């Protein structure tokens, strides 16, 4: 079974557009779980423009499935500029305090609109190794965000990672141009290389109801993280139907 982890950042972004608690990130997450989602993903950035520090603690207390916190492990502490919003303690300090089931390391800069590349594992290995060791000591499953590259993905295993999350935007763009099956070959080789190195495989970014049925054939795929498209689809179909459609696209039902 391929696990569906719902990224709830866009729900937090909608809430933050007003001085309100609506929509509730926790209630939305609980409904996703009730409709069959296997996990919840959040990406708390230092400026807290969507998911906030307090959301992470609230979700840890409120949900009974995997909580995946993703972000840049080298993001430092940052004071909050908004009344009533807790200061950002730094990414690793937040992970230490929350202790999620999984932590996905992503090399995003503070000013990025969204994640747009994976770690260069060869270049960044000296920085990542102690971070991965710390996550292991905390009992937090680690995943490293990587570009599809079968020649370098195995480095993550040597660094001590439990999983890699393969960045799928290039597949999504190729799919739109009718080259999805050809694009999937590179991802499949990357997944095979990761699997044979002892890693489990996650994937995410721009996956949707159109391209997911093809992508779900990726060998050894354990989990997908989907937020933007799923949240948009819920506006049209309703949340329960949308979750069911994504589970069906993953061939889980």
This prediction's pTM: 0.95
Q: Would you call 38 a catalytic residue per the annotation?
A: no
pLDDT of residue 189: 98
- Tell me the pLDDT of the chain averaged across its residues: 95
Which of 50, 200, 205, 223 does the annotation list as catalytic?
A: 205
Question: In the predicted model, is pLDDT for residue 81 greater than 90?
Answer: no
Residues of the chain above pLDDT 90, percent? 90
Cβ pair 35, 2 in contact under 8 A: no
Q: Would you call 50 a catalytic residue per the annotation?
A: no
Q: For 152-173, write each residue's pLDDT tens digit.
A: 999 999 999 999 999 999 999 9
pLDDT of residue 55: 98
Rounded CA separation 88/44 (Å): 9
Count of structural domains, the chain: 1
Which of 66, 70, 165, 200 does the annotation list as catalytic?
A: 70
Q: For 35-71, write each residue's pLDDT tens digit.
A: 999 999 999 999 999 999 999 999 999 999 999 999 9
Which of 43, 50, 200, 223 does the annotation list as catalytic?
A: 43
Q: Would you call 205 a catalytic residue per the annotation?
A: yes
- Residue 135 lies in domain: 3-249
Closest to 47 measured CA to CA, from 21, 92, 84, 86: 86
Residue 165 belongs to domain with CATH number? 3.20.20.70
pLDDT of residue 83: 79
Closest to 208 measured CA to CA, from 178, 163, 170, 172: 172
Banded pLDDT at 253 (limits 50, 70, 90): very low
């Amino acid at each position: 079974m391929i696990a569906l982890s719902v990224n709830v950042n866009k729900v937090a972004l909608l809430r933050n557009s007003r001085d309100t608690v609506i929509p509730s990130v926790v209630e939305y997450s609980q409904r996703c779980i009730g409709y069959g989602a296997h996990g919840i993903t959040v990406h708390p950035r230092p400026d807290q423009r969507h998911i906030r520090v307090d959301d992470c603690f609230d979700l840890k207390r409120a949900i009974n499935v995997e909580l995946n916190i993703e972000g840049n492990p080298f993001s430092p502490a940052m004071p909050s500029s908004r009344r009533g919003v807790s200061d950002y303690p730094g990414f690793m300090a937040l992970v230490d305090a929350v202790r999620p089931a999984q932590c996905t390391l992503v090399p995003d800069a503070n000013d990025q609109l969204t994640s747009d590349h994976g770690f260069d594992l060869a270049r960044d290995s000296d920085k990542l190794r102690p971070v991965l060791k710390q996550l292991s000591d905390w009992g937090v499953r680690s995943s490293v965000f990587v570009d599809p590259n079968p020649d370098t993905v195995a480095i993550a295993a040597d660094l001590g990672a439990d999983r890699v999350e393969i960045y799928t935007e290039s597949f999504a763009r190729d799919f739109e141009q009718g080259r999805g099956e050809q694009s999937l070959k590179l991802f499949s080789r990357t997944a095979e290389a990761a699997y044979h190195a002892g890693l489990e495989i996650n994937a995410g970014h721009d996956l949707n109801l159109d391209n997911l049925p093809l992508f779900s054939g990726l060998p050894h795929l354990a989990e997908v993280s989907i937020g933007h498209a799923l949240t948009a689809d819920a506006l049209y179909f309703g949340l329960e139907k949308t979750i069911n459609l994504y589970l069906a696209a993953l061939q889980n039902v």
